[in-house]
Structure 1
Amino acid sequence: MTTSLKLIPLFCLFLFVLPQHADAQRRGKRIKQRFRASLITGFNLSQMDGDNYNGFDKFNPQFGIGGTAVINRQSEIGIELLYHNKGARTESDPRRLLNTKDRLVDLSYVEVPIYFRHNRRETFPTVYFEGGGAFARLIDAKIDEPAVVQDGLILSGLENDLQENELSLLLGIGYQFTEHIGARFRYSFALTRVYNTADLSEEAALQIEQERGVMQLRNYYISLAAFYRF
């Protein structure tokens, strides 16, 4: 187990202990429940920077669990454990009249987002905003593309050269319909690259660029999810 993964239980403990020392009342009302657990399900649309294509064209299901520590009636700190995929789906021959997206970069991650949430209102329903970061661990990678490509980009064979750990920033907006049911929209972009030739010698990096047409790959995604809070 890596040091980063060992820190996850400590974060959970921190989120449980912190509210015990926070303000216990707000406008004369006591907060009944300091910790809220949730089930999360939804999907994301992903793309990669560095593959010479734009567009969030890869659909990925998303599911997981979460927990929030209530600081006061408008502020919370949350942590989640999500399973979802990232990557890209693009065409290998941009000259075709019909763009057939026949190249697939499918990356499976376990991700741990940690974020701060601010509710606009103290009661439900309410809009809320969130921002934070995430640590993700790559657990599987598959790259499928035609044997002959026409866009000068060759990604097949890079699976073993991908970085296993990833750090991201996230921003989101959501709507809490009731005390238990809500939905959110989130945008995430990686601070680290899943593939990067910067650590190689200049000669080796140039050779890879000439052979494969790629120097670096970075993950982005937008997601829409619903959740049930207990």
Structure 2
Amino acid sequence: MKKVLTIFTFLSFFLFGHTVSAQNIRNAIVIGASASQIDGDAMSGFNKGGLVFGGSSNFKITDKFSFQPEILWLQKGSKTSNRDSLVYTKWRLNYVSVPVLLNYKIQPRFTLQAGITADYLIDAKLDDGGGFFERTADLERFDLNYTGGIEYKIGDNFSANARYQYSFFWLDDLHFKNSNVLVTLRFYLGGRE
């Protein structure tokens, strides 16, 4: 797990951490949190929190449109809302996430986003009250999601983003689908937009 995190962090900063001299490209460092659930596991509510971090590049197409690929480390899962209930279950899923988004600037500070996200499952663990055990082999490694969100520009090099993702396909024979909300802050590197 530590090796995967080290490689992921290195690749993120290698690809996105440098300032690109082209005026139509802006790179950003992304950090935030996720709230997720697994549809089909009979545990409603976005009760499982997680971390989101990585990098993004924004390629300006016109004054209104831009293309934005990202590489993120994303934690998903679900859990019962009350540990004292008769059945306690907590899923912990770690993904490398690659969103590909089309952005449309509706106002100088607000941008709408839509696209798809390809997630690759690094590991999956389940705690049913007796501690976590490995369940990675029981789930599909690849998860394709549709994605939509909005970004608010706070300053020239700083913005906040809220996004929703939902799986296209079932994750396993139990008919699970990932559903999650991401809230992130973006620190843009280099010049102004």
Shorter-chain TM-score above 0.5: yes
Q: Please tell me whether residue 218 in structure 1 is matched to residue 174 in structure 2.
A: no
Q: Please tell me whether residue 173 in structure 1 is matched to residue 150 in structure 2.
A: yes
CA deviation digits over 1:40-90, x for unaligned, max 9? 000000000111121000000110000010011221100000001111011
Aligned positions, number: 168
Flag as ranges the 4+ runs of structure 1 deviating above 3 A.
98-102, 156-159
CA deviation digits over 1:150-190, x for unaligned, max 9? xxxxxx77432210011000010110122211001100001
User: Which residue type is aligned with residue 166 of structure 1?
Assistant: D
TM-score normalised by length of structure 1: 0.67
- Partners of 1:58 and 1:114 lie apart in 2 by 24
Q: Please tell me whether residue 83 in structure 1 is matched to residue 42 in structure 2.
A: no
User: Which residue type is aligned with residue 107 of structure 1?
Assistant: L
- Partners of 2:34 and 2:98 lie apart in 1 by 15
1:54 to 32, 44, 53: 44
TM-score normalised by length of structure 2: 0.80
Question: Residue 55 of structure 1: SS of its match in structure 2?
Answer: coil
Residue 38 (structure 1) aligns with: 28
Asked whether the 8 Å contact 2:89–2:129 carries over to 1, the reply is yes
Q: Larger % of strand: which?
A: 2
- Partners of 2:139 and 2:28 lie apart in 1 by 32
1:33 to partner: Cα distance: 1.2
Asked whether the 8 Å contact 2:124–2:135 carries over to 1, the reply is no
CA deviation digits over 1:94-132, x for unaligned, max 9? 8x9x548831100100000000111123x4xx1110000
Q: Larger % of helix: which?
A: 1
- Partners of 2:154 and 2:63 lie apart in 1 by 15
Mark the structure with the bigger radius of gyration.
1
RMSD over aligned Cα atoms:
2.3
User: Which residue type is aligned with residue 49 of structure 1?
Assistant: D
User: Which residue type is aligned with residue 164 of structure 1?
Assistant: R
- Partners of 1:195 and 1:89 lie apart in 2 by 18
Asked whether the 8 Å contact 1:143–1:159 carries over to 2, the reply is no
User: Which residue type is aligned with residue 145 of structure 1?
Assistant: D
